[in-house]
């Protein structure tokens, strides 16, 4: 499926480049393909964590991201995470060339996280969460199917982090800008 949004198109282009040439797409080269200078300025001016999620027949096919920015700007963040999601998510075999037409892509750009004081601060439809305990960290993006209560959201994030029930966790929430 061809994405309609430039962020998701960037992620797909990064995956295609890796499959077709074996090399990692360079954002400065990609800019030449884009006819929207305002979008390019916006991307190059933003440092943010980003998640790239791949779906095939509406089933998760790969998802990798960063909570805090690791690259020079969000465009480079998306390229890196798209390649990681497609080829290095340990839950899945690497994406094959013949799957590209069947993939749908979602890109989440994370806004800054903030500490959560009470359960009332949580809303799994609006906020993603990060939980931390003694060097362990788990993250859950917002607005995920089947995650409809703060308790369920906390439980899933804690399990992802390997945090045992009853261990005191620091909890943070964040909003995302989601692009398909």
Are 85 and 102 part of one and the same domain? yes
Mind listing the pLDDT tens digit for each residue in 86-107? Answer: 999 999 999 999 999 999 999 9
Q: Which two tokens stand for residue 172?
A: 């943070």
Are 104 and 61 part of one and the same domain? yes
Mind listing the pLDDT tens digit for each residue in 37-80? Answer: 999 999 999 999 999 999 999 999 999 999 999 999 999 999 99
pTM tops 0.85, yes or no: yes
Are 105 and 121 part of one and the same domain? no
Are 26 and 67 part of one and the same domain? yes
The full DSSP string for 85-135 is HHHT-TTSPPPPGGGGGGEEEEEEEEPPPEE--SGGG--TTT-EEEEEETT
């Amino acid at each position: 499926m061809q994405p309609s949004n430039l962020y998701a198109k960037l992620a797909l282009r990064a995956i295609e480049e890796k499959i077709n040439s074996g090399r990692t797409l360079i954002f400065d080269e990609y800019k030449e393909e884009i006819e929207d200078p305002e979008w390019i300025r916006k991307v190059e001016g933003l440092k943010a964590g980003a998640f790239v999620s791949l779906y095939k027949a509406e089933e998760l096919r790969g998802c990798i991201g960063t909570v805090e920015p690791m690259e020079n700007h969000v465009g480079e963040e998306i390229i890196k995470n798209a390649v990681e999601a497609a080829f290095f998510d340990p839950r899945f075999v690497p994406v094959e060339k013949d799957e590209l037409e069947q993939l749908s892509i979602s890109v989440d750009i994370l806004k800054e996280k903030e500490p959560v004081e009470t359960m009332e601060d949580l809303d799994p439809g609006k906020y993603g969460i990060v939980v931390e305990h003694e060097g362990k960290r788990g993250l859950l993006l917002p607005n995920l199917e089947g995650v409809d209560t703060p308790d369920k959201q906390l439980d899933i994030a804690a399990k992802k982090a390997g945090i045992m029930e009853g261990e005191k966790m620091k909890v943070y929430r964040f909003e995302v800008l989601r692009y398909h």
